[in-house]
């Protein structure tokens, strides 16, 4: 555990030493705010569902781009510069390496997400706001981000090219995101399976204010599967 | 095979590594005893780095086993890695980190607790001469300083075993001397395996040499034995006392001197009319006095007479012949 924390601390510092962290934070705050308020003023109600509900114009879509951007360097860069050899020949396990890096990325996006708390707080001054669904929405959004980041970490272990890591992760995340809208075009049985596989379907449930164990299990299994594959991929190193 | 007295600290048992169809390392076995400083020598691409990566647990051997400090690396990689200080080839470091932060990070992962870390850091920084750059970003450092940071990182936990992959590559001559001195000093209380393709390096710092070629060990002996084997070499430049010299005649005369095994003509020396030869002595004998007398008797003047110790270079060349650029 101490090793995981040490690696996480280093990665977080690397984010904040470079402009990455600030770009992510500012971009997310500004765009998410714009997306939210353009809807709030349209429907003229103190409702922040727009912050959580998946749609082709929502903060969650922004995460589909930001999560791969945050994770792309984590392993790929170390492969490129050769520091992965230094790191993995220290007495740390591959699992600790992956967990430390993953938690740093999750930490960064959690900070970005929690920063948007400013918006519901602002809106609560404009009209009565039901905090229950807001809480559920945040839990959903953080779980959603956690799943995308785990996929991103896995893609970063596959290559020593950050751009390739980004593109592959983005395609995977976008596919899992948009399949939610695609399923209506398919036969019902297949559609139901695809719906369950979609990251947006489960976010949609939570955005309604319902915390269902099935949704939590879905996200957590995605995280565990992606991280498990990342560890496997890292330990299959060849030089 | 040299006699390895005492307990062996590093042991390679039939290591083999394949990358797809290519065999990078094939059946490499050797032992390094406690306190030895062993040079791991070979042309570029011979498999030095691959072998070291297997010893440090970075690569898994296709076959065979590596044992460090009595711990099989494949079975307990962390246990073995705790005993090793490793400097990978070309010292890969986190460029965006400050030197001091980087060393703290490594110390933390090495399990050096905060209190000991301070004193260890001080010792190591002093030893590697890092005091002036502690607050700098690693990315801004010169090659020499990077290499020193790499060494410092390997020394932090005061390991028994140091595995250094080309510790002096890319350094200027002054820096090379500094690093060599440091290695010699470290060799007093540590077991060191260092790889290099710079031959004088091995003669300067190592007690034993392992030469690897095309993935296999081709020599494993003490530095002294490998440098003394081939017989002395003598550089000769002669000129005529009067008139021109007949090269074949001079050569025949030199070859007739007792204790001379062979005489090879060398490229033209700078002096006009002079001839240069490389004389190889037979065994350990020293034919210089006889060469001088032969010159006097033959009526020519010795401009230069200079004995070279048979160098490791010759041994190396003869063992790793046929290594064209294409193989590198």
- ipTM for this prediction: 0.90
The count of structural domains within chain A is 1
pLDDT given at position B323: 46
Alpha-carbon distance of B52 to B49, in angstroms, equals 5
Q: Which domain holds residue A7?
A: 2-237
Query: Is the per-residue pLDDT at A59 higher than 60?
Result: yes
Q: Determine contact: A19 vs chain B, CB below 8 A.
A: no
Mean pLDDT of the region A163-183? 92
**In the structure, what pLDDT confidence band is assigned to residue B129 with cuts at 50, 70 and 90?**
confident
Angle B61-B312-B223 from CA coordinates, rounded to 5°: 70
For B212, the token pair is 């690897």
Cβ contact, residue pair B106, A85, below 8 Å: no
**In the structure, what pLDDT confidence band is assigned to residue B139 with cuts at 50, 70 and 90?**
very high
Chain A residues whose beta carbon lies within 8 Å of the beta carbon of residue B58: 85, 88-89, 237, 239
DSSP class per residue in B247-316: HHHHHHHHHTSTTEEEEEE-SPPSSTT-EEEEEEESTT---HHHHHHHHHHHTEEEEEEEEEPPPHHHHH
pLDDT given at position B2: 44
Nearest to A90 among B19, B81, B92 (CB): B81
Mean pLDDT of the region A47-55? 83
Q: What is the tens place of the pLDDT at every residue in A11-45?
A: 999 999 888 889 889 989 999 888 888 887 777 77
Burial class from Cβ neighbours inside 10 Å (0-12, 13-18, 19+) for residue B75 reads exposed
Alpha-carbon distance of B287 to B259, in angstroms, equals 6
Q: What is the tens place of the pLDDT at every residue in A110-125?
A: 999 999 999 999 888 8
Angle B138-A19-A84 from CA coordinates, rounded to 5°: 45
Strands of the sheet containing B63-68, edge to edge, are B22-33, B8-19, B63-68, B71-72
Chain B residues whose beta carbon lies within 8 Å of the beta carbon of residue A89: 56-58, 81, 84, 86, 88
Query: Is the per-residue pLDDT at B326 higher than 60?
Result: no
Cβ contact, residue pair B57, A89, below 8 Å: yes
Chain B residues whose beta carbon lies within 8 Å of the beta carbon of residue A10: 94, 97, 105
Answer yes or no: are the C-beta atoms of A132 and A210 closer than 8 Å: no
State the smallest CA–CA distance between residue B206 and chain A in angstroms. 24
Q: Which residue, B110, B102, B112, is CA-closest to B149?
A: B102
For A67, the token pair is 């999560």
**In the structure, what pLDDT confidence band is assigned to residue A72 with cuts at 50, 70 and 90?**
very high
Chain A residues whose beta carbon lies within 8 Å of the beta carbon of residue B88: 82, 85-86, 89
Chain A residues whose beta carbon lies within 8 Å of the beta carbon of residue B94: 10, 14, 83
* Cα-Cα-Cα-Cα dihedral sign, residues A180, A62, A16, A114: negative
Cβ contact, residue pair B78, A91, below 8 Å: yes
Q: Determine contact: B253 vs chain A, CB below 8 A.
A: no
Cβ contact, residue pair A82, B78, below 8 Å: no
Nearest CA in chain A to B55: A89
For A192, the token pair is 């139901």
For B295, the token pair is 């010159």
Q: Determine contact: B85 vs chain A, CB below 8 A.
A: no
Q: What is the tens place of the pLDDT at every residue in B140-182?
A: 998 889 999 999 999 999 999 999 999 887 788 888 888 888 8
């Amino acid at each position: 555990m101490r090793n995981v924390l040490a690696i996480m601390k280093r990665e977080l510092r690397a984010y904040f030493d470079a402009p990455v962290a600030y770009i992510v934070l500012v971009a997310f705050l500004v765009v998410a705010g714009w997306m939210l308020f353009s809807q709030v003023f349209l429907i003229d109600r103190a409702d922040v569902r727009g912050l959580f509900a998946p749609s082709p114009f929502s903060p969650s879509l922004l995460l589909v781009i930001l999560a791969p951007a945050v994770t792309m360097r984590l392993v790929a860069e170390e492969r490129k510069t050769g520091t992965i050899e230094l790191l993995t020949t220290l007495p740390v396990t591959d699992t600790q390496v992956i967990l430390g890096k993953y938690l740093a990325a999750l930490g960064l996006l959690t900070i970005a997400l929690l920063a948007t708390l400013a918006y519901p707080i602002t809106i609560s001054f404009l009209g009565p706001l039901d905090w229950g669904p807001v809480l559920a929405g945040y839990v959903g959004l953080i779980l959603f981000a956690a799943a995308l980041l785990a996929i991103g970490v896995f893609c970063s272990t596959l290559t020593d090219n950050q751009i390739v890591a980004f593109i592959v992760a983005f395609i995977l995340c976008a596919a899992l995101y948009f399949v939610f809208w695609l399923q209506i075009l398919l036969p019902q049985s297949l559609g139901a399976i695809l719906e369950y596989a979609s990251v947006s379907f489960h976010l949609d449930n939570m955005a309604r204010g319902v915390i269902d164990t099935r949704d939590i299990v879905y996200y957590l299994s995605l995280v565990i599967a992606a991280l498990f594959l990342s560890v496997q991929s890292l330990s299959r190193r060849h030089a | 095979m040299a006699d390895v007295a005492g307990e062996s600290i590093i042991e390679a048992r039939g290591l083999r590594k394949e990358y797809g169809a290519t065999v990078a390392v094939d059946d490499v076995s050797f032992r390094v005893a406690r306190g030895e400083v062993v040079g791991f020598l070979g042309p570029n691409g011979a498999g030095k780095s691959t072998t070291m990566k297997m010893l440090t647990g970075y690569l898994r051997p296709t076959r065979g086993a590596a044992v460090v400090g009595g711990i099989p690396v494949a079975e307990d990689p962390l246990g073995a890695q705790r005993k090793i200080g490793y400097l990978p080839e070309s010292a890969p470091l986190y460029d965006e980190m400050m030197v001091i932060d980087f060393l703290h990070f490594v110390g933390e992962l090495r399990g050096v607790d905060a209190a000991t870390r301070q004193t260890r850091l001080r010792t190591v920084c002093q030893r590697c001469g890092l005091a002036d750059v502690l607050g700098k970003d690693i990315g801004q450092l010169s090659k020499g300083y990077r290499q020193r940071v790499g060494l410092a990182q390997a020394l932090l936990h005061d390991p028994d075993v140091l595995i250094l992959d080309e510790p002096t590559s890319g350094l200027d001559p002054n820096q090379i001397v500094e690093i060599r001195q440091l290695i010699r000093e470290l060799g007093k209380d540590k077991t060191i395996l260092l790889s290099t393709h710079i031959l004088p390096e091995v003669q300067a710092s190592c007690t034993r040499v392992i030469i690897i070629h095309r993935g296999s060990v081709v020599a494993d002996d003490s530095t002294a034995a490998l440098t003394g084997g081939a017989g002395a070499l003598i550089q000769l430049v002669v000129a005529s006392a009067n008139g021109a010299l007949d090269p074949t005649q001079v050569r025949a005369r030199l070859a007739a001197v007792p204790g001379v095994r062979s005489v090879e003509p060398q490229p033209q020396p700078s002096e006009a009319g002079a001839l240069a030869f490389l004389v190889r002595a037979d065994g350990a004998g020293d034919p210089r006095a006889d060469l001088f007398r032969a010159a006097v008797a033959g009526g020519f003047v010795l401009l230069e007479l200079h004995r070279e110790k048979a160098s490791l270079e010759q041994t190396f060349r003869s063992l790793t012949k046929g290594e064209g650029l294409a193989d590198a």
